Amino acid sequence: MKLIRRQVNLIKCIIENPNAGIKELSGIMNVSMQTVKSDLQGMRDFMQTYGTTIEIISGNRLCIYGIENLPYILRVSKLMLEFSLEKQIILLLLFSNTFVVLQDIADTLYVSKSLTEKIMPALLKKYPEELESIRHYGIRCIASPIEKRSRFVEIIEPYVQGIDFPEELKQFHLRHFPILHYITSHDIEKGMNALNYVQNISTFSLTDESLCQLFLQIIYILFCHRNQEKVLIGPMFSDIIHGIRRKEKEYLTSANTICSIMDIHDENEKFYLCYLFMTLRKQKISNSTQLIQAMSDVVNEIFQKIHEQMSVDFSNDHELAKGLSVHIYTTVLRKDLLKTFSPDYSWYDIMHQYPIGFEMSTIAAKVILTKFSYKVSTDEMIYLTLHFQSGIERMKNSEKKLHILVVCHYGMAAAILIATKVERIFHNVEISDTISIQCFLQMKTINADLVLSTENIKSQDIPVIYITPLLTQNELKQISYFVEMHCINNLLALFIIHSIVLDIENANSRNEVITQAVTVLHQNNLVSEDYLESCIERENISSTDVDSIAIPHGNPDFVKETKLLIVRLHEPLYWKSSYVSYVFMFAISKKQFTENFALFSTFYKKLVDSSIRTEIKKIGQEDVKKFKKSLAHLLSL
C-alpha cells in the first residue's frame, strides 16, 4: 500500500490533536471535511494492520482505538509514501552517464511518454544546474559526482530505516523504483561489510541516520566506479584533509580501510570518505578534547551572548559545550559540499515545542555567521535547539530511581534531550544510558526497567515504548504521569488579568503593529526605546506567526518591568506565513526570566496549540474585561 503525503500529515495531525473532530482536522489541514473522511477511510486497513481503528461517530467526532500506536504508525507511514514520478526520473538519470530520451524514461518507469513530457519542463526548471536537455539527444544529469551522491542519498534515505538494509532496498525496489537493476548484491554486501567495520570503531560512532547515509553513499560510489570509465572526484578533499590533526588521522585510517573493503584504489576517494567521517553526525566520540579546544572561542562567545540576553548561564555545562563543539565543527566543515538531511520533525515543530532552546539557537546562529561567514540553515537550527534544550532540561533535573534506557536513532543531541527531559518531568527516574538502535540490537542483556525508543524494536525481556524527540503529550502519558507546573499557570493567569489590550483598526505591516505595541509599552515606562529594534530584529530572524496569532518579543535587557500586551486586529494582517488577528507581545524582564524560567516557554506552547487558538477566536471579540478573564481561564488550564 502507498500513502499520499496528505494522509501522512493527517496521522501527524491526529497525534498532535487527539481530541479534534473532522471539522477541526479539516480546518488545521485546510482541506474539506469530506477529504478528511475519505483519507481516513483509505487508511483504514493500513491502520488496522498496526492495531489502530479510527471510527467517525455522531457530531463528526472521532473514536480512536489503539491511539498509543499512532506514533509508530506515523514512522512506518513515511516509508509507505508515494514515490513521485519526479524522484523516479531523477533517480533514473543518476544511474545514467549519458543522455536518455523521453521514450526510454517512460518505458523504464512504466508511464506514458506524454506524462513524462508534461513533468519534464518543471523538473528542468527546478534543477537547472543538475539537469540538461538538448534537442535530439535527450536529458542527462550534469551535476558533479559529489552532487550526484548527495542527491542519491537525499532521495533514498527517507525510505530506509537501517535495521535491515538488504531487505529495505528490496522493498524499495518492489514498491517504488527498480533500484536492484543498478545496485548489485555485491554492492550491498560490500556496503554491509563497511558498516560492520565502522560499527566496531572505538574512537567514534556514527548516528543511525549517518550510518544510513554512509551505506547509501558507498553503494552509489560502487555503482559509479563499476559503470563509468573515470569518476572525477577532484583534489578538493585532499586540500580539506591536508594538515589535519591527530584526531582526523583516525578518520583517514578508517577511510583507507573502507576503500580496501570496497576494492577501490583511488586516493581522492579515500580523502572523500575521510571527509564523510569527519562531517557525518556522531552518536558518541571517545575523545573530543581537541574539538572542544578548537571550538572553545565560538562556544564561549555563544554562552556569553546567551547569558547577556537571557540570563542563562551555561558556562559550567561541559556536556553542552562538548555537543556544540562537535556539531559546529562538523557543520562549518561541511559547508555546502554535502546536502544536510532533515529529521522526521520540522524546525516549525521544534521552534514551538522548545521556544527557549530555539531562541538560544538563533543567538548561536548569529555568532556562527560572524565567526565563520556561514549561514546556519533551518534544519541545522533544529539540532542547535536540541543541544540547548538538553542544557535547559539538565538545569531542571530532579531525583531519580526508575531505570530507563533510551534508544535513539537521531543522534547525540536528540538522545540527550530525551534523557534529560524525561528525568526532569518524571519523578523517581534515572536514565541508565542513551544508545543507538544498532548498539541495542547487539546487546545481550538489558539492565533497565523500561526502554524508550525512537524506532520500532522488540524485546521479550523488557517493555518498550515508542517515543519521538518531541515527547508529545500522548507519549508522556504512556511513560507514567506528567507533573503539571501549576505555579507557572497561576502566574501566567495573573499576567493576563493585568495585561494591556490594544485594539488596532488599520495596520499595513507587521512592523507597524510591533511599533504601535512597543510605543504603548514605552509610554508606560515598561521598556526602553531600544526594545523596538530588538523586537523587529528578532522577528526578521524567524517569524513568530502561527496561524491566526503572532508572538513577537525582544531583548529582556530592554525591559524595565514585565508586561503582557495583547493586540486585537480588526482586520487580519498577513504577517509572514499566515493572516494574523491577535498579537501577544510578552515583554519579560531579565529578572523575571531568571526567576520564572519556564513561564515564557509555557506561554508560547499554549498559544501554538491549535485548540487554544480556536478558542481564542471565539472569545476575541468580547469586551476587554471579559476577554482577559476568558483568556486567563483558557491558558491556565
The DSSP result for 367-409, as a single string, is HHHHHHS-PPPHHHHHHHHHHHHHHHHHHT-----EEEEEE-S
User: Which residues lie below 8 Å from residue 70, measured CB to CB, with a gap of 6+?
Assistant: 11, 14, 15, 52, 64, 474
- Within the chain, which residue ranges are assigned CATH 1.10.10.10? 5-79, 83-143
Tell me, what amino acid is at 465?
Answer: I
Q: So what's the pLDDT on residue 399?
A: 41
Element housing 287 (H / E): none
Identify whether the C-beta of residue 100 lies closer than 8 Å to the C-beta of residue 138: yes
Helices (H) and strands (E) in the chain, counts: 31, 15
Q: So what's the pLDDT on residue 125?
A: 93
HSE (side-chain half, CA atoms, 13 Å) at 190: 20
Q: What are 452's three cell numbers?
A: 524508550
Question: Could you write out the three-class secondary structure of 74-143?
Answer: HHHHHHCECCCHHHHHHHHHHCCCCCECHHHHHHHHCCCHHHHHHHHHHHHHHCCCCEEEECCCEEEECC
| β-strand partners of 140 | 132
- Within the chain, which residue ranges are assigned CATH 3.40.50.2300? 396-479
Q: So what's the pLDDT on residue 574?
A: 92
Domain 5-79 CATH class label: mainly alpha
Torsion sign (Cα): 39, 42, 46, 51: positive
Residue 192: burial class (beta carbons within 10 Å; 0-12, 13-18, 19+): middle
- Is 574 in a helix, a strand, or coil? strand
d(CA 356, CA 133): 48
Q: What angle do CA 379, 381, 382 make, to 5 degrees?
A: 70
d(CA 466, CA 478): 9
Topology adopted by domain 289-394: PTS-regulatory domain, PRD (1.10.1790)
Identify whether the C-beta of residue 500 lies closer than 8 Å to the C-beta of residue 568: no
d(CA 466, CA 479): 10
User: pLDDT digits over 394-429, tens only?
Assistant: 776 544 467 788 998 888 888 889 998 888 877 667
Among the listed residues 572, 590, 568, the one whose alpha carbon sits nearest the alpha carbon of residue 580: 572
d(CA 509, CA 504): 12
Cα–Cα distances in Å, from 176 out to 82, 85, 100, 193, 425?
A: 8, 10, 20, 26, 42
Residue 620 DSSP symbol:
T
User: pLDDT digits over 212-239, tens only?
Assistant: 999 999 999 999 999 876 677 766 676 6
Cα–Cα distances in Å, from 53 out to 5, 39, 247, 472?
A: 20, 13, 53, 20
Terminal C-alpha separation, the chain:
41
Q: What are 95's three cell numbers?
A: 544511474
Note the pTM of the prediction, 2 decimals.
Answer: 0.62
User: pLDDT digits over 39-94, tens only?
Assistant: 999 999 988 988 899 999 988 999 998 888 888 888 778 777 778 899 999 999 99
d(CA 582, CA 573): 9
Q: What phi-psi label fits residue 342: left (phi over 0), alpha (psi between -120 and 50 degrees) or beta?
A: beta
Among the listed residues 498, 507, 513, 526, the one whose alpha carbon sits nearest the alpha carbon of residue 624: 498
Q: What angle do CA 252, 258, 261 make, to 5 degrees?
A: 150
Backbone phi, then psi, for 563, in 5-degree steps? -155, 140
d(CA 50, CA 468): 18
Domain 396-479 CATH class label: alpha beta
DSSP string, 213-250: HHHHHHHHHHHHHHHSS-----THHHHHHTT--HHHHH
Q: What phi-psi label fits residue 66: left (phi over 0), alpha (psi between -120 and 50 degrees) or beta?
A: left
- Within the chain, which residue ranges are assigned CATH 3.40.930.10? 486-635
Topology adopted by domain 486-635: Mannitol-specific EII; Chain A (3.40.930)
Q: What are 429's three cell numbers?
A: 527516574
Q: How far is CA 152 from the centre of its chain?
A: 20
Residue 318: burial class (beta carbons within 10 Å; 0-12, 13-18, 19+): exposed
User: Which residues lie below 8 Å from residue 600, measured CB to CB, with a gap of 6+?
Assistant: 355, 356, 553, 586, 588, 593
Tell me, what amino acid is at 200?
Answer: N
d(CA 339, CA 279): 11
- Is 329 in a helix, a strand, or coil? helix
> Low-confidence residues of the chain, pLDDT below 70?
1, 229-230, 234-236, 238-248, 287, 335-349, 396-401, 427-428, 459-461, 480-491, 595-598, 636-637
Q: So what's the pLDDT on residue 339?
A: 63
Domain 144-280 CATH class label: mainly alpha
Domain 83-143 has CATH 1.10.10.10: yes
As a whole number of Å, the CA-based R_g of the chain is 26
- Within the chain, which residue ranges are assigned CATH 1.10.1790? 144-280, 289-394
User: Which residues lie below 8 Å from residue 264, measured CB to CB, with a gap of 6+?
Assistant: 221, 222, 225
Q: So what's the pLDDT on residue 240?
A: 62
d(CA 151, CA 129): 13
Among the listed residues 111, 109, 84, 81, the one whose alpha carbon sits nearest the alpha carbon of residue 2: 81
Q: So what's the pLDDT on residue 481?
A: 39
Identify whether the C-beta of residue 295 lies closer than 8 Å to the C-beta of residue 223: no
Backbone phi, then psi, for 374, in 5-degree steps? -120, 120
